[in-house]
């Protein structure tokens, strides 16, 4: 009788725990589905290599799965996952010791044909290179706010900083990009 009572208690206990695990799995799947594209773009921006960005996504999925209790209980689970991905991409970059050469920032001459589409492609490419060359905190603030649409408080949680610092880095990044684009488009001649 006692053994039967214990077994029934264990079954009830397991029964109560099963839905929670299923719910955790659903929350994990939903969170990772929402963040997949954002994490990929972030990793690609840091690493500059599609295959490595995909590898980072796989590694992040595994790490988040192992730490899903902490992730799902955190106040900002998106920021938590983004920080994991960012740190993994930066670690991979440090391991690879990759740097962007300054010669990569040169605007290509599209010729005198006046091809507007080609000019826009050149400007887009230059802007991407300029963003990639920004200091990490500025680049991250710019990408998270202007590309991914995160709020300032979310960015502050991701970069483990205060909101004032995020706003300052965002302002500096925008100013730097603007000044360098104007200089490049004027072929190095300032109009002061």
Q: Return per-residue pLDDT of the chain as tens, 192 residues.
A: 444 445 445 445 544 444 456 668 888 889 899 999 999 988 888 888 889 899 999 999 999 998 888 888 888 888 889 989 988 988 887 777 544 444 444 444 444 445 666 666 777 788 888 888 888 889 888 888 888 888 899 888 888 889 999 999 999 999 999 998 888 887 755 555
Same domain assignment for residues 78 and 111: no
- Collapse the DSSP code of 48 into the 3-class scheme (helix H, G, I; strand E, B; otherwise coil) and give the result: coil
Assign residue 107 a region (left: φ > 0; alpha: ψ between -120 and 50; beta: otherwise): beta
- Please enumerate in sequence order all residues whose Cβ is within 8 A of that of 71, keeping only pairs 6 or more positions apart, or say none: 28, 31, 64, 77, 80, 81
Same domain assignment for residues 82 and 134: no
Same domain assignment for residues 64 and 115: no
Q: Which of 96, 131, 162 is the last residue of a domain?
A: 96
On whether residue 191 sits in a domain, the answer given is no
Q: Which of 47, 63, 96 is the last residue of a domain?
A: 96
On whether residue 68 sits in a domain, the answer given is yes
* Residue 56 belongs to domain spanning: 2-96
Q: Which of 122, 183, 174 is nearest to 143 (CA)?
A: 174
On whether residue 190 sits in a domain, the answer given is no
Whole-number Å distance between alpha carbons of 158 and 86: 9
The structural domain count of the chain equals 2
Main-chain dihedrals φ then ψ at residue 93, nearest 5 degrees? -65, -45
Same domain assignment for residues 69 and 134: no
């Amino acid at each position: 009788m006692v053994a039967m009572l214990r077994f029934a208690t264990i079954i009830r206990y397991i029964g109560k725990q099963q839905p929670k695990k299923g719910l955790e799995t659903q929350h994990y799947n939903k969170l990772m589905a929402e963040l997949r594209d954002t994490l990929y773009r972030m990793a690609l921006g840091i690493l500059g290599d599609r295959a490595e960005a995909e590898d980072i996504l796989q590694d992040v999925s595994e790490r988040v799965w192992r730490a899903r209790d902490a992730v799902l209980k955190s106040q900002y689970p998106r920021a938590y996952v983004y920080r994991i991905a960012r740190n993994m991409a930066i670690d991979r970059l440090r391991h690879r010791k990759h740097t962007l050469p300054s010669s990569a920032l040169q605007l290509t001459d599209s010729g005198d044909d006046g091809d507007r589409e080609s000019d826009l492609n050149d400007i887009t490419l230059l802007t991407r290179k300029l963003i990639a060359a920004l200091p990490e905190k500025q680049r991250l603030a710019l990408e998270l706010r202007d590309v991914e649409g995160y709020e300032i408080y979310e960015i502050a949680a991701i970069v483990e900083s205060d909101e004032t610092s995020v706003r300052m880095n965002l302002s500096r990044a925008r100013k730097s990009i603007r000044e360098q684009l104007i200089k490049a488009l004027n072929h190095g001649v300032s109009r002061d």
